[in-house]
Amino acid sequence: MTIDTIKRALITGITGQDGSYLAQFLLDQGYRVFGTYQKSAVPNFWRLQYLNILEKVTLICADLTDFPTLIEAVNSCQPQEIYHLAALSPSGTAFEHAVDAGEITGLGVTRLLEAIMKIDPGIKFYQASSIELYGEGRSEPLTENTPFNPVNPYAVAKLYGYWITRIYRQKHGIFACSGILFNHESPLRGLNFVTRKISNSVARISLGLQDELILGNLNAKRDWGYAPEYIRCMWLMLQQDKPDDYIIATNETHTVREFAEKAFETVGLDWQKYIRTDEKLMRPTDVNFLQGDNSKARENLGWQPQVKFNQLVEIMVKNDLDRWQMHESGKTFPWDIQP
């Protein structure tokens, strides 16, 4: 295979859960993979190391608020595809970083699209959208045609990114797609997400390293899928004849309580003996119900999830349990925990 026949992809946010799994997937497809990271941030390459691919990707320093660095990043790798996954991480303190959300999560998309316009309008572009576009007060499965109702600065910034992607597709003819991925989890999920908080805590409790698990809203319902499966959809969107936007979901919901119950069941414990709720962990703009409808992705992309809810929970708990057991035995390995 010559260099001219090797496809090249640029992933922003390559060090995150989705970026790492996507890099692994693209490498398996024969791509040469490049990824951006922010110089001002603390290096966080553990996921790439965990997947044994850190030495197989080319890392490029770039900043979503600095247009020249994005131009340089795209110029240096000349990709056929750009997967834009980087964003300011959503959290309960979204209102404290409202301006940053707009600059990074919102305008960062426009800067990348402008880089494509200047360097090569033929580059295919994937925008990682968010279920937070839909906001609260929903009681039915959400489709690509459901009206948006963002309720925090992060969601508003993501909505801007969604619309600007559509505008560049319609007005400039760029092959640009937005993927609205519902909650997708894995052993590489960050500890600031409730699913990983549960799996990690359950593993520790089962080994006698922790006494209880403190959670917020146990009744919140989410459409939870397995992240490695969702990554393939990003790629599939850019392999179609025409660009379009897609919801990726499992079409079913489960509560945080169900997730915790199954997690404790995986290690043979009664969840009710170890869980305590705290109102301080209740987010004021939390959405109680989110379920997607993947009909369009199923029909156009030929995709549907294979890993079901119970299997997803088991994968996460057993992986965290294995890691804590390795740690207790004195082994060192890439991990996001500093005991």
Q: Is 130 a catalytic residue?
A: yes
Q: Does the CA dihedral 275-276-278-279 come out positive or negative?
A: positive
129, 130, 186, 206: the catalytic one is 130
Predicted pLDDT at 138: 72
* CA atoms of 214 and 209, how far apart (whole Å): 15
To the nearest 10 degrees (0 to 180), the angle between helices 309-328 and 194-206 is: 50
Q: Is 83 a catalytic residue?
A: no
Collapsing DSSP to helix, strand or coil, 119 comes out as: helix
Nearest to 182 by CA among 92, 315, 295, 292: 292
Q: 332 is written with which tokens?
A: 């060192």
pLDDT tens digits along 115-173: 999 999 999 999 999 998 998 767 789 999 999 999 899 999 999 999 999 999 999 99
Domains of the chain: 7-184+224-248 (3.40.50.720), 191-223+253-290+309-328 (3.90.25.10)
H/E stretch holding 323 reads helix 309-328
154, 168, 226, 230: the catalytic one is 154
Q: Is 89 a catalytic residue?
A: no
Amino acid identity of 275?
I
Give the strand pairing for 221-222 and 254-255.
antiparallel
Predicted pLDDT at 139: 78
Count CB-CB contacts under 10 A for residue 2.
5
Predicted pLDDT at 1: 40
Please check whether residue 256 is in contact with residue 224, taking contact to mean a CB–CB distance below 8 angstroms.
no
Q: Average of pLDDT values for 40-45?
A: 74
Work out the mean pLDDT of the chain and round it to a whole number: 93
Percent of the chain with pLDDT over 90: 85
Q: 243 is written with which tokens?
A: 């660009």
21, 83, 126, 132: the catalytic one is 132
Distance of alpha carbon 18 from the chain centroid: 5
